[in-house]
Amino acid sequence: MYKCYFGLGFFAGVIALAFADDFATARDEIDKVKPNINYNTFCAETSEGEDKIACRMKSVSSVGFLVCQRPLFGEKNCSTIIDEEIDNLQRVHKEGKVAIVQISPPPIDDVRCGKESSLNCTGFLEHWVDRKEGQFKQVRDHISDNKIQDLIEAVKNFTITAGLATTAADLSKIKSYMMENPKENHYRQICDLQGFFMVSGGFLVNDVPDILTGVGLDGVCWDGEPTTKQVLKALDDMISAFGPKNDIVGNRNGDLKTTEPHKNIKIMLIINVVYCIFAP
């Protein structure tokens, strides 16, 4: 039995080190080519938003490098935007046990921007969720467009049935985090709610530009955004659709999914567990 405990602990440590090694390798690769990074050749694939470009690194496919599109955003510079995003992701995870996409601080400064040629942009490392693992969905847009039912059907189509309960559990954590002090009409809101619905179950929050606190049910992050009441209603609809509200399901807390480069580690861990069960 002691051998089993040792083996399980050993393999758990190997998995943690593998992810840490990926981030360390990715950081070294960026340091080699910064500041003037050619994202067309450096990235295996990219995804662009209004504020940032997400680069899946060719050399470390499990890691994404998220960089500002430009150095200035009104009165804020890129470095401030990135610092706030990292802080907000860590905050929702720490305060609310909200599942998030794994990130690796600190930020990386003085790199080329996504759209502009300036070398004064900042980026950070994040676990790259492969399309086989999960699908990115802009929940905020679905709420604003009154298309939550479309989102529910889409998630049911690509998430395995057994995993929907974990998705409901992750969404329940977001709802619980929003309930700052309902008796006083005080709520939190994760602005621009978005993230990855995982094929095997779960929802990982990604990109948190701001967190409202102490707002009422009619509070909004910005003009034209969904109200707190609308966000809570959408979460209730999804939680009800994906699993019973009171089920004790899942224990995500932002854990990484095992990605393609780490399948061999996962297989070794399974073998070790089987050995523990059947060994004399």
Contact predicate 4/279, CB 8 Å: yes
Closest CA to 166 of 110, 243, 103: 243
Q: Does domain 15-127 have CATH number 3.30.200?
A: yes
Q: What is the pLDDT of residue 20?
A: 72
Within 8 A by CB and 6+ apart from 186, the residues are 180, 213, 214, 215, 216
In the structure encoding, which two tokens stand for residue 39, read together?
């994202």
Contact predicate 63/23, CB 8 Å: yes
d(CA 138, CA 151): 9
For the chain, the straight-line distance linking the first and the last C-alpha, in angstroms and rounded, comes to 9
Strands (E), the chain: 43-48, 52-57, 63-68, 72-73, 76-77, 103-111, 121-127, 134-137, 187-190, 195-198, 203-205, 211-215
What is the per-residue pLDDT across 66-88, written as a single tens digit (0 to 9) for each?
999 999 999 999 999 999 999 99
Q: Residue for token digits 């004790």?
A: 248
d(CA 168, CA 171): 5
- Provide the angle, in degrees to the nearest 10, between the axes of the packed helices 2-33 and 263-278: 170
- What is the pairing mode between strands 134-137 and 195-198? antiparallel
Q: Residue for token digits 């690509």?
A: 158
- What is the pairing mode between strands 76-77 and 103-111? unpaired
Q: Residue for token digits 């990715």?
A: 26
d(CA 91, CA 5): 33
d(CA 180, CA 125): 30
**Burial class of residue 246, CB neighbours in 10 A (0-12, 13-18, 19+):** exposed
pTM for this structure? 0.81
Which residue ranges make up each domain of the chain?
A: 15-127, 134-242
pLDDT tens track of the chain, all 280 residues?
A: 544 444 444 444 444 455 679 999 999 999 999 999 999 999 999 999 889 999 999 999 999 999 999 999 999 999 999 999 999 999 999 999 999 999 999 999 999 999 999 999 999 999 999 999 999 999 999 999 999 999 999 999 999 999 999 999 999 999 999 999 999 999 999 999 999 999 999 999 999 999 999 999 999 999 999 999 999 999 999 999 998 644 444 333 333 333 444 444 445 545 554 445 555 5
**Burial class of residue 41, CB neighbours in 10 A (0-12, 13-18, 19+):** exposed
Residue 209, preceding peptide bond in cis (omega within 30° of 0): no
**Phi and psi torsions of 254, nearest 5°:** 80, 10
d(CA 7, CA 244): 36
